[in-house]
Chain A
């Protein structure tokens, strides 16, 4: 039994030379399954380059990496810095604990010719609570290339330094755009508020009933003309009724009360802007009285649609204060 075990150990040692140290350790069976190192290209690095190495470590499940054994960012050599190290625990899967150890190095070696350099192995400790075991992330070597020729052949280039970084002004375009947007917001807010409250140019927005009436007159006559396209009558009765109603409603809204033919003199006194259309308005009221109350079909011919539209337009203009 013991001989068989020894043979197995020997066999494993032959197969896995990197694991020799582990097998030599007492009671170090197969706690470490594998350490795989993923490295960047091993050539063509120049001074100041960063080298991102990544090691996949697989352990047998109860064993975990001892966080205290992880390398801390520090200066490893006069030319090599470990700038960053981070461990990712990828969990237990099939009885195996997986880790990814990311190591970022920065090299400051200034070679005169391409030179092979070594990043040393990283010793780590794994533990299952009682036993401790040393493992290593293998070393890695790479070629560094020089940046400049050994003897300058260009004229005056031996000591020529690269130029300084010139100070740049603070970027203000973003702030300017923000300010413009804020001003736009102020204008939009003010406009909306003025429109809602009826301030300034929006003051007379609400009391413009004739503008709406003119629109309605046109719409009513157009729809009724469409429905009675073939008839010879100037306009069908419902369209004309609707148009007249719209105009009456505009008069009512302007005066703030119902306006009848008897009230017209008072209306023109109160709203002198409409004086220019006094006679037409008289005709309108006359015709509508006969249409609505007298059921007089002649009234329909008295105010043809074209006249009605013209009158609505003139009323709208008078309301606006124009001719």
Chain B
């Protein structure tokens, strides 16, 4: 009889604990699910081209969606802080993707400048793009698309030891040499 009472009490406490723990877990999971759903709605909206404002302390996936929205519209100055934010908070995979996408955007604009024979604005963009690809590859050395596009950027404006080591001031002949470094004539010139 006493055993039965003890067993009954044990079952009561076990079920009460199970109920309490799973209720807490349920509340946490539902809250997370609601937040995830809201973020996914924003990500879908940004991918569809709607200009959804994103708080700077949002989660990295949402910041990345905003970043791709900005880079495909050539708004690099707004995108740069997002990249830094993603690099500090996000996983290395998403941070590498962020660096890569921003570099892609810059390189696309640089190539369109070069195609219209507009060299001066193109060179800094190519340099920034190269830096972005290098950051992406440092985070993910197996990122083949970044390797390929870095190779493209490298052939547009090649790295030279003397330019790299001379720091900020670029020797006057470097600007001239940059044009000769462009291999061949880009397609689409008039």
B partners with A: yes
The B-contacting residues of A in range 41-82, CB under 8 angstroms, are 46-50, 77-79, 81
Q: B187 to chain A: which residues have CB within 8 Å?
A: 156, 158-159
Q: B25 to chain A: which residues have CB within 8 Å?
A: 178, 181-182, 185
* Contact stretch, chosen from A160-168, A241-249, A302-310: A160-168
Of all chain A residues, which has the CB nearest B35?
A170
Docked complex Cα distance between A108 and B153 (Å): 12
Q: B44 to chain A: which residues have CB within 8 Å?
A: 169
Interface residues on B, range: 35 or more
The A-contacting residues of B in range 8-46, CB under 8 angstroms, are 8, 11-12, 14-23, 25-26, 29-30, 32-33, 36-37, 39-40, 43-44, 46
Secondary structure call for the B interface: helix
Docked complex Cα distance between A168 and B43 (Å): 8
Q: Does A232 contact B (CB under 8 A)?
A: no
Q: Does A275 contact B (CB under 8 A)?
A: no
Q: Does A130 contact B (CB under 8 A)?
A: no
Q: A48 to chain B: which residues have CB within 8 Å?
A: 133-134, 137, 141, 143, 146-147, 150
Asked whether, in the complex, the Cβ of A196 is within 8 Å of the Cβ of B29, the reply is no
In-complex Cβ contact of B101 among A110, A164, A189, A196 (8 A): A164
Interface residues on A, range: 35 or more
Given the interface pairs A172-B40, A179-B29, A192-B18, the reply to whether A166 lies near B68 with Cβ below 8 Å is yes
In-complex Cβ contact of B15 among A106, A110, A158, A192 (8 A): A192
Asked whether, in the complex, the Cβ of A193 is within 8 Å of the Cβ of B43, the reply is no
Q: A117 to chain B: which residues have CB within 8 Å?
A: none
Given the interface pairs A156-B187, A162-B149, the reply to whether A182 lies near B159 with Cβ below 8 Å is no
Q: B101 to chain A: which residues have CB within 8 Å?
A: 164-165
* Contact stretch, chosen from B73-81, B104-112, B169-177: B104-112
Q: B159 to chain A: which residues have CB within 8 Å?
A: 78-79, 108, 110
Docked complex Cα distance between A192 and B25 (Å): 18
Of all chain B residues, which has the CB nearest A167?
B65
Q: Digit string of A282-296 for contact with B (CB within 8 Å is 1, else 0)?
A: 000000000000000
